[in-house]
């Protein structure tokens, strides 16, 4: 249940259902990919496939992007993915960056935390932005890619039939019902996934009893953009309260209700408004405010055991439900989409064995377990599930008033990029002992400023500006650019049809225009533990596949081939 009091400054466009030309009640053309769910995850999958030239049909039950704030925090890693998808500009224009937050016990500050951030970074650690903007900016880009992305609005899936060689869906709209067939199905249709239900699959894990009322309010204030949390505040004794500034003068307020409170009563405006008013008065906000949207949230820590079921692949909330504390929900779903899109595209193009898709499941199930381990700890602190947890939290908060060494225990553990340490795609780190620094196989790239050399012009940029959604060799050179070996490797990949690039990085100003960038700051080589001829092999999703002290084209070619020829895995349950 939710209540809508006023319109957001954002105005969503509504769309009509469409009915394609049918033959005997079925679409004549079999689709390569059908994506069910037009939220952030489904749109990211569609855009990721489009980056590789793969068309899809996207099915969305609603007639517009969502209402209400819902997911509100976009991590640095998600921003990097959005940039590769061509959709970042709207986020950076509208979103509010932040780097840390404060926690209070009653009305005394007990923690001021900062997320990792330094002048090597191009993007902030976090952006606050409501989900309707998230969906709209992704939709804007999807509409620009309409040659590859066919969106079917106001259309529901009512039946799913998954066979060994295809999937068939029954679709229903106000224009009627019909069947659609596809080679592959991506289920990104949220926590109440109809695809998951139709396949008889269940999420497993823990659902917490604690409930939070979520309220969007219009409030003009000079409070900074940071994550604010109160435990047992005088304004709402025994509860915890979170506040986040959003664009357009909107604030998100989340507060926990008591175990004995009736959720249906607690969410009613006449009960919500006085509690919000009490809290605003407590923190010195005496100005006018008004409610916009109210809903209820309950924390879950649930997941499917695997995310690939034949020709059906699950992503986002359809695959896992992660507690909101630490903002891992939408961000983990965007990471799912990034991992899945290139693998599915390579399989469809015939570049890779279809068992490459099993590694999507293995890597992302591992990531979910990591996210749940931290999200569960945050949930147990924010909303203690038992008296023992509540007693422990009270002890920590009380000690934190006077003992700084205890305060890290209050840290909300914001979402962090997952390293696929045991991924079957990782090339063995044979030179591990040689590397003093740098991302290990399975990790994402470390950001660094670079100077781009373009003919006689030099411009400032960042390493991630040079990384496209292709296999990339980062070769650390002496400034002379590409060699016969790099040209031979590029030719071999071109012949195989694998999107591939050799990126040459020099320690000093480039001596010829064939060098892509150089390390003017003096940080890049150091951060990567690199010397001349060191190389890193990077996957299309920006994770390191392998690294070597010395560049050997045959080794690189074999490492890429091993990924594309991935055979059936024994995926952990």
Q: What is the pLDDT of residues 295-350, one digit of tens each?
A: 998 888 899 999 999 999 999 999 999 887 767 789 999 999 999 999 999 999 99
Q: How confident is the model at residue 405 (pLDDT cuts 50, 70, 90)?
A: confident
Query: What is the rounded CA–CA span in Å between residue 381 and residue 451?
Result: 45
Q: Is the pLDDT of residue 356 over 90?
A: yes
Give domain limits for the chain. Answer: 11-96+121-203+301-364, 432-564
Q: In this structure, what token pair is assigned to residue 559?
A: 């490492």
pLDDT at 414: 66
Tell me the CA distances in angstroms from 218 to 250, 297, 336, one per residue in order.
5, 20, 33
Q: In this structure, what token pair is assigned to residue 438?
A: 């740098």
pLDDT at 571: 40
Q: How confident is the model at residue 58 (pLDDT cuts 50, 70, 90)?
A: very high
pLDDT at 572: 38
Fold of 11-96+121-203+301-364: FAD/NAD(P)-binding domain (3.50.50)
Per residue in 518-542, pLDDT (tens digit) is 898 889 999 999 999 999 999 999 9
Once rounded to an integer, what is the mean pLDDT over residues 116-138?
94
pLDDT at 373: 81
Q: Are 340 and 48 in contact (CB under 8 A)?
A: yes
CATH top-level class of 432-564: alpha beta
Q: Is the pLDDT of residue 425 over 60?
A: yes
Q: Are 15 and 114 in contact (CB under 8 A)?
A: no
Place of tokens 């690939």: 308
On the CB side of 260, CA atoms within 13 Å amount to 1
Three-state SS at 69: coil
pLDDT at 238: 86
pLDDT at 350: 95
Q: Tell me which of 178-182, 272-276, 350-354, 569-573 is least confident.
A: 569-573
pLDDT at 106: 92
pTM metric for this prediction: 0.94
Q: How confident is the model at residue 225 (pLDDT cuts 50, 70, 90)?
A: very high
| Stronger pLDDT, 378 or 565, i.e. the higher one | 565
DSSP bridge partners of 168: 161, 181
Q: Tell me which of 154-163, 405-414, 491-500 is least confident.
A: 405-414
Which ranges in 191-268 belong to alpha helices (H)?
Answer: 194-198, 263-266
Q: Are 443 and 543 in contact (CB under 8 A)?
A: yes
Q: Is the pLDDT of residue 573 over 50?
A: no
| Stronger pLDDT, 479 or 536, i.e. the higher one | 536
Report, in angstroms and rounded to the nearest whole number, the Rg of the chain calculated over CA atoms: 25
Q: In this structure, what token pair is assigned to residue 220?
A: 């003009």
Q: CA angle, corner 468, sides to 423 and 460, nearest 5? A: 120
Query: What is the rounded CA–CA span in Å between residue 82 and residue 473?
Result: 22
Q: What are phi and psi of 553, to 5 degrees?
A: -55, -40
Q: How confident is the model at residue 455 (pLDDT cuts 50, 70, 90)?
A: low
DSSP bridge partners of 538: 472, 544
CA quadruple 421, 422, 427, 430: dihedral sign: positive
Give the β-pairing of 535-538 and 544-548.
antiparallel
Q: Please enumerate in sequence order all residues whose Cβ is within 8 A of that of 343, keeping only pairs 6 or more positions apart, or say none.
A: 352, 356, 357, 359, 360
Q: What are phi and psi of 567, to 5 degrees?
A: -100, 180
Helix H, strand E, coil C: the string for 528-555 is: CCCCCCCEEEECCCCEEEEEECCCCHHH
Query: What is the rounded CA–CA span in Å between residue 504 and residue 482?
Result: 7
Q: What are phi and psi of 57, to 5 degrees?
A: -110, 130
pLDDT at 1: 72
The 10 Å Cβ neighbour count of residue 343 is 26
Burial class (CB in 10 A: 0-12, 13-18, 19+), 460: exposed
Q: Is the pLDDT of residue 126 over 70?
A: yes
pLDDT at 67: 85
Tell me the CA distances in angstroms from 389 to 38, 235, 285, 297, 392, one per residue in order.
38, 22, 32, 20, 5
| Stronger pLDDT, 567 or 113, i.e. the higher one | 113
Query: What is the rounded CA–CA span in Å between residue 440 and residue 545?
Result: 8
Q: Tell me which of 24-28, 70-74, 226-230 is least confident.
A: 70-74
Q: Report the greatest alpha carbon distance in the chain.
A: 75
Once rounded to an integer, what is the mean pLDDT over residues 424-444?
94
Per residue in 509-518, pLDDT (tens digit) is 765 557 889 8
């Amino acid at each position: 249940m939710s209540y809508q009091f006023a319109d957001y400054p954002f105005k969503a466009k509504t769309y009509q259902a469409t009915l394609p030309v049918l033959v005997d009640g079925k679409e004549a053309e079999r689709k390569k990919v059908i994506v069910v769910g037009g939220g952030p995850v489904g749109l990211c999958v569609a855009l990721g496939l489009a980056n590789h030239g793969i068309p899809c049909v996207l099915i969305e039950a609603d007639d517009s992007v969502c209402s209400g704030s819902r997911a509100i925090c976009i991590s640095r890693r998600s921003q990097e993915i959005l940039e590769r998808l061509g959709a970042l500009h709207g986020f950076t224009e509208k979103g509010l960056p932040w780097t840390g937050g404060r926690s209070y016990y009653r009305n005394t500050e007990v923690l001021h935390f900062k997320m990792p951030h330094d002048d090597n970074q191009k993007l902030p650690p976090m952006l606050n932005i409501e989900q309707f903007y998230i969906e709209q900016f992704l939709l804007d880009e999807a509409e620009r890619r309409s040659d590859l992305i066919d969106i079917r609005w106001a259309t529901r899936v009512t039946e799913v039939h998954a066979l060994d060689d295809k999937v068939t869906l029954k679709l229903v709209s106000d224009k009627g019902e019909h069947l659609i067939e596809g080679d592959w199905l991506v289920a990104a249709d949220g926590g109440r996934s109809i695809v998951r239900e139709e396949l008889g699959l269940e999420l497993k894990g823990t659902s917490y009893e604690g409930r939070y009322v979520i309220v969007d309010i219009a409030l003009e204030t000079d409070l900074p953009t940071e994550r604010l949390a109160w435990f047992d505040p005088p304004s709402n004794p025994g509860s915890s309260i979170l506040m986040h500034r959003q664009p357009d003068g909107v604030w998100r307020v989340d507060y926990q209700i008591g175990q004995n409170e009736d959720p249906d009563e607690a969410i009613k405006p006449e009960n919500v408004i006085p509690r919000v008013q009490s809290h605003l008065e407590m923190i010195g906000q005496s100005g006018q405010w008004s409610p916009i949207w109210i809903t209820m949230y309950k924390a879950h820590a649930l997941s499917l055991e695997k995310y690939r079921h034949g020709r059906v692949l699950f992503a986002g909330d359809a695959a896992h439900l992660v507690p909101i504390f630490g903002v891992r929900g939408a961000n983990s779903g965007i990471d799912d989409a990034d991992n899945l899109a290139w693998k599915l595209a390579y399989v469809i193009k015939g570049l890779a064995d279809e068992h490459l898709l099993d590694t999507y499941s293995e890597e992302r199930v591992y990531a979910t377990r990591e996210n749940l381990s931290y999200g569960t700890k945050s949930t147990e602190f924010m909303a203690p599930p038992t008296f023992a947890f509540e007693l422990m939290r009270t002890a920590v908060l009380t000690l934190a008033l006077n003992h700084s060494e205890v305060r890290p225990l209050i840290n909300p553990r914001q979402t962090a990029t997952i390293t696929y340490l045991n991924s079957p795609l990782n090339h063995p780190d044979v030179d591990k002992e040689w590397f003093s620094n740098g991302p290990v196989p399975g990790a994402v790239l470390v950001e660094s400023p670079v100077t781009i050399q373009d003919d006689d012009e030099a411009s400032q940029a960042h390493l991630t500006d040079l990384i496209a959604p292709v296999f990339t060799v980062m070769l650390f050179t002496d400034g002379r650019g590409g060699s016969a070996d790099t040209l031979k490797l590029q030719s071999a990949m071109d012949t195989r049809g694998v999107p591939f690039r050799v990126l040459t990085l020099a320690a000093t100003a480039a001596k010829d225009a064939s060098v892509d960038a150089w390390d003017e700051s003096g940080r890049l080589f150091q951060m990567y533990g690199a010397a001349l001829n060191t190389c890193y092999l990077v996957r299309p999703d920006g994770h390191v596949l392998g690294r070597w002290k010395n560049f050997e084209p045959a080794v690189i070619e074999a490492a890429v081939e091993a990924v594309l020829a991935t055979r059936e895995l024994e995926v952990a349950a």
